[in-house]
């Protein structure tokens, strides 16, 4: 092959010089050396359409070849179909390249060997073609990359597997911690009620101990839960307006009693230039601040703890803030500082025994501050004290804060329907409601909730959203479709931590408000005051807006046409089938999102398109298309955000389908 051209290489545009190749030409030696490295020389002469490869290449694919060269078209016959066109393209491009570049042009192709397997080759083409007898000859080196690519793929797979196993572990911990928190909340709530009742001094002491131990347990589990959530990528920060000076003052108020009990002074220095309203996650910001203040109090025996909040800079309606918590406590050695913000690390085990704790608090703080794209650190001197600090940048809120005030005075004695499958939670809610003067009934499934609401005896529904079978959102939607005032009963969701997708679901649902678990008696009181006994607006009944498609979710003409052709019973059956399919698909998409599995998402989007088109589920069809093109382009962010939207739209579509079901009119 190339040895034929040895020495004939000419300067660009120059005249080629002819000479016969000696038997052990340097080129032959080069080729031997290349073959040892699984490589061969490559040459393509476009005018003569001859493609020449070194013997190593033919040996690698185990192909008997008559001569060293062949026309490009014949070579294409050896390639995997999809690679034919691209290789031809790149060769033509290489032949046309002006002979002034030094780099190589990368290409690749796959050969289906006579033995039936596929070899992958990379091809490094010289950027400048060699001019031989006025012909621009493309030269390069072909390497068999089958093995290295396989190894790389295995490595990527192994990494993905390890990452997903790690995420699965964190998700497991998050779920378990959540499960543990529920009964602890029961213990705390009930003990709180017990402490409010008539007790002897001894009983009161015992109940207080139960409450303190329960609280300590809850704090630990909450730390573990937060940490697992961060690790599983499940912790999402809110972006809501809140009052910054109030938040700092609130954190001080919450820790004041602890400081006082230890005889410590707790002082706050709040920069008067602090913006009143900012956007961010107040709960998480407070958590970091509280953690630092609690540590400062814990590790200080005498002196004081100072909390400072100040503005570092302000630009483009974003304010950079610095928070500091300074104590006069035991201090931390220089060697211990780098380990401080790692999980499960305490400065030394004797400290852990003396002071208790899991060593997770600061790790959680760091994760949270990282999520806020801020910084956290400490200056400390053994025996003199420590100053923990963190800095975050937050946008200033430009709008009015606060919810609508409760409407009028509290209506007493409004019967409340409590929907919760956990008997401890349900009893706690009932007890709190009774204390506010509202009688309550309990049911434990969504279906029973709809049945109870049908009787129209309740002025408020407190609905756990995670219910077996019909979940809280679905039950709420079903209640809204009840006739008359029965469908107008206010519904308040009782939820665990809600993520972005839940929040979207909540926004698009029939639920009017929500309270978080663990349910705070004060918050519950406010919410009940606001809603109990009122009646809420709901979407106008279907009769008033006939065939109009609901928000363009579905094209009802498709269902009407089907109905005309096959009748309401069969169409209804089809609708049922689609609803079942959609519910299943939502679960698959949810799983693909959680596992960040783009391939699975791509498949789901593909199926979604093919199933939704035929029943006129317009919005979902469009979303399927959007997700598919995002997954195709490898745009993860876009794909996963469209998938989140898809889940919400799927739920809405299910409701819209139920409304459009022709069996309703039959």
Q: What is the footprint of ligand ADP within residues 415-474 (CB under 6 A)?
A: none
Residue 123: strand pairing partners: 107, 142
Among 95-103, 184-192, 361-369, 577-585, which window interacts with ligand ADP (CB under 6 A)?
Answer: 361-369
Nearer Cβ to ligand ADP, position 298 or 411? 298
Among 46, 186, 280, 357, binds ligand ADP (CB under 6 A): 357
Q: Is 134 in a helix, a strand, or coil?
A: coil
CB of residue 327 to ligand ADP, shortest distance in Å: 5
C-beta separation of 182 from 226 below 8 A: no
Q: Output the DSSP codes for 604-648.
A: HHHHHHHHHHTTT-HHHHHHHHHHHHHHHHT-HHHHHHHHHHHHH
Task: Retrieve residue 190's tokens.
Answer: 């009930």
CA dist., res. 371 & res. 383, Å (int)? 32
Strands 69-70 and 277-280: unpaired
Q: How far is the CB of 204 from ligand ADP (least distance, A)?
A: 29
Which positions ≥6 away from 374 have C-beta within 8 Å?
Answer: 390, 391, 392, 393
Give the count of alpha carbons within 13 A of 637, CB side only.
0
Rounded to a whole number of angstroms, the minimum distance from the CB of residue 281 to ligand ADP is: 20
- Using CB under 6 A as the binding rule, whether residue 243 contacts ligand ADP is answered as no
Site for ligand ADP in 282-311 (CB under 6 A): 295-296, 299
Among candidates 381, 284, 399, which has minimal Cα distance to 336? 381
Reading the block at residue 274, the tokens are: 């602090």
- Using CB atoms within 10 A of its CB, is residue 638 exposed (0-12), middle (13-18) or buried (19+)? middle
* Closest residue to ligand ADP: CB criterion: 357
User: In terms of CB distance, is 354 or 632 closer to ligand ADP?
Assistant: 354
Near ligand ADP by CB under 6 A: residue from 54, 361, 487, 616: 361
Burial of 344 (0-12, 13-18, 19+ CB in 10 A): exposed
Is residue 332 a contact residue for ligand ADP (CB under 6 A)? yes
Please tell me whether residue 340 binds ligand ADP under the rule CB under 6 A.
yes
Contacts of 90 (CB under 8 A, 6+ apart): 105, 107, 123, 125
Binding flags for ligand ADP, 371-390, as an x/- string (CB under 6 A): ---------------x----
Task: Please answer whether residues 245 and 274 qualify as being in contact, where contact means their C-beta atoms are separated by less than 8 angstroms.
Answer: yes
Q: Does 359 bind ligand ADP (CB under 6 A)?
A: yes
98 with 88: CB under 8 angstroms? no
- Residue whose CB is less far from ligand ADP, 363 or 397: 363
Shortest gap between Cβ of 360 and ligand ADP (angstroms)? Answer: 6
Q: Among 109-117, 133-141, 339-347, 553-561, which window interacts with ligand ADP (CB under 6 A)? A: 339-347
Size of the site for ligand ADP (CB under 6 A): 20
Query: What per-residue string of b and e applies to 553-566 under the rule 16 or more CB within 10 Å gives b?
Result: bbbbebbeebbeee
Asked if 38 touches ligand ADP (CB under 6 A), the answer is no
The tokens for 173 are: 């911990």
Longest dimension (CA), the chain: 114
Nearest approach, Cβ of residue 340 and ligand ADP (Å): 5
Q: Which is nearer to ligand ADP, 374 or 549 (CB)?
A: 374
- 280 near ligand ADP, judged by CB under 6 A: no
Q: How far is the CB of 359 from ligand ADP (least distance, A)?
A: 4
Phi, psi of 418 (to 5 degrees): -100, 120
Stretch that binds ligand ADP, among 13-21, 172-180, 346-354, 610-618 (CB under 6 A): 346-354
Residue listed under structure tokens 């995670």: 466
Instruction: Select the residue interacting with ligand ADP from 87, 138, 360, 586 (CB under 6 A).
Output: 360
- SS3 sequence, 355-373? HCCCCCHHHHHHHHHHHCC
DSSP 236-295: ----EEEEHHHHHHHHHHHHHHHHHHTT-EEEEEE-TTS-SEEEE-HHHHHHHHHHHHHH
Q: How far apart are CA 89 and CA 45, in angstroms?
A: 14
Using rule CB under 6 A, residue 258 touches ligand ADP? no
Rule CB under 6 A: choose which of 347, 462, 650, 657 binds ligand ADP: 347
Closer CB to ligand ADP, residue 231 or residue 327? 327
Burial of 28 (0-12, 13-18, 19+ CB in 10 A): middle
Task: Find the shortest distance in angstroms from Cβ 334 to ligand ADP.
Answer: 13
Shortest CB 364 distance to ligand ADP, Å:
8
Contact between 129 and ligand ADP per CB under 6 A? no
Q: Before 518, cis peptide (omega within 30)?
A: yes
Helix (H) or strand (E) holding 230: helix 201-231
Residue from the set 358, 447, 481, 629 that interacts with ligand ADP by CB under 6 A: 358
CB of 347 to ligand ADP, least distance (A): 3
Nearer to ligand ADP, 289 or 476 (CB): 289
Using CB under 6 A, which of the segments 34-42, 140-148, 247-255, 322-330 binds ligand ADP? 322-330
* Smallest distance from ligand ADP to CB 343, Å: 8
Among 35, 210, 218, 351, binds ligand ADP (CB under 6 A): 351
Q: How far is the CB of 610 from ligand ADP (least distance, A)?
A: 51
Which helix (H) or strand (E) element contains residue 21? none
If one asks whether residue 572 binds ligand ADP (CB under 6 A), the answer comes out as: no
Q: Evaluate whether 88 touches 109 at the Cβ level (below 8 Å).
A: no
Least separation in angstroms between residue 226's CB and ligand ADP is 12
* 221 binds ligand ADP per the rule CB under 6 A: no
Binding site for ligand ADP (CB under 6 A): 295-296, 299, 327, 329-330, 332, 340, 346-347, 351-352, 357-363, 386
């Amino acid at each position: 092959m190339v040895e034929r051209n040895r020495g004939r290489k000419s300067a660009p545009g120059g005249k080629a010089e002819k000479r016969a190749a000696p038997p052990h030409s340097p080129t032959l030696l080069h080729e031997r050396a290349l073959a040892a490295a699984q490589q061969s020389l490559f040459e393509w002469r476009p005018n003569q359409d001859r493609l020449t490869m070194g013997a190593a290449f033919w040996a690698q694919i185990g192909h008997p070849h008559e001569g060293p060269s062949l026309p490009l078209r014949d070579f294409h016959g050896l390639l995997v179909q999809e690679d034919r066109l691209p290789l031809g393209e790149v060769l033509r491009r290489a032949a046309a390249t002006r002979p002034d570049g030094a780099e190589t042009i990368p290409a690749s192709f796959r050969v289906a060997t006579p033995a039936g397997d596929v070899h992958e080759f990379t091809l490094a083409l010289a950027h400048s073609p060699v001019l031989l007898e006025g012909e621009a000859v493309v030269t390069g080196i072909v390497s068999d990359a089958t093995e290295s690519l396989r190894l790389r793929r295995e490595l990527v797979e192994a990494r993905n597997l390890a990452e997903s196993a790690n995420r699965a572990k964190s998700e497991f911990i998050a779920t378990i911690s959540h499960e543990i928190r529920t009964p602890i909340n029961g213990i705390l709530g009930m003990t709180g009620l017990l402490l409010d009742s008539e007790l002897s001094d001894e009983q009161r002491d015992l109940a207080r101990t139960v409450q303190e131990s329960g609280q300590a347990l809850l704090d630990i589990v909450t730390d573990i839960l937060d940490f697992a959530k961060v690790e599983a990528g499940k912790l999402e920060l809110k972006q809501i307006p809140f009052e910054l000076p109030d938040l700092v003052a609130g954190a001080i108020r919450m820790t004041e009693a602890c400081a006082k009990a230890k005889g410590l002074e707790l002082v706050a220095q709040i920069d008067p230039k602090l913006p009143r309203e900012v956007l961010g996650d107040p709960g998480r910001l407070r958590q970091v601040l509280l953690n630092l203040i609690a540590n400062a109090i814990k590790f200080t025996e005498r002196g004081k703890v100072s909390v400072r909040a100040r503005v570092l800079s302000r630009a483009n309606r974003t304010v950079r803030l610095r928070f500091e918590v300074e104590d006069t406590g035991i201090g931390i050695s220089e060697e211990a500082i780098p380990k401080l913000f790692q999980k499960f690390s305490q400065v030394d085990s004797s400290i852990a025994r003396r002071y208790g704790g899991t060593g997770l608090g600061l790790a959680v703080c760091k994760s949270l501050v990282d999520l806020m794209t801020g910084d956290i650190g400490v200056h400390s001197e053994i025996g003199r004290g420590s100053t923990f600090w963190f800095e975050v940048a937050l946008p200033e809120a430009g709008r009015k804060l606060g919810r609508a005030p409760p409407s009028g005075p509290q209506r007493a004695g409004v019967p409340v329907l409590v929907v919760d499958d956990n008997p401890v939670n349900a009893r706690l809610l009932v007890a709190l409601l009774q204390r506010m003067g509202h009688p309550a009934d309990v049911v434990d499934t969504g279906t029973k909730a709809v049945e109870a609401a049908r009787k129209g005896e309740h002025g408020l529904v407190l609905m756990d959203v995670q219910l077996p079978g019909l979940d809280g959102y679905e039950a709420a939607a079903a209640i809204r479709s009840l006739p008359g005032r029965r469908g107008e009963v206010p519904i308040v969701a009782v939820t665990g931590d809600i993520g972005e997708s839940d929040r979207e679901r909540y926004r698009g649902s029939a639920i009017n408000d929500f309270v978080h678990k663990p349910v705070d008696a004060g918050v519950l009181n406010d919410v009940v005051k606001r809603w109990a006994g009122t009646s809420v607006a709901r979407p106008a009944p279907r009769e008033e807006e006939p065939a109009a498609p609901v928000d363009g979710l579905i094209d009802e003409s498709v269902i009407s046409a089907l109905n005309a052709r096959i009748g309401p019973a069969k169409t209804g059956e089809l609708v049922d089938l689609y609803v079942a399919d959609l519910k299943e698909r939502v679960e698959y998409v949810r799983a693909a999102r959680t596992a960040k599995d783009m391939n699975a998402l791509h498949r789901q989007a593909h199926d979604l398109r093919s199933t939704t088109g035929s029943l006129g589920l317009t919005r979902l069809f469009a979303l399927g298309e959007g997700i598919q093109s995002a997954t195709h382009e490898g745009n993860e962010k876009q794909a996963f955000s469209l998938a989140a939207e898809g889940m919400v739209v799927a739920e809405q579509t299910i409701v819209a389908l139920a409304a459009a079901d022709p069996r309703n009119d039959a």
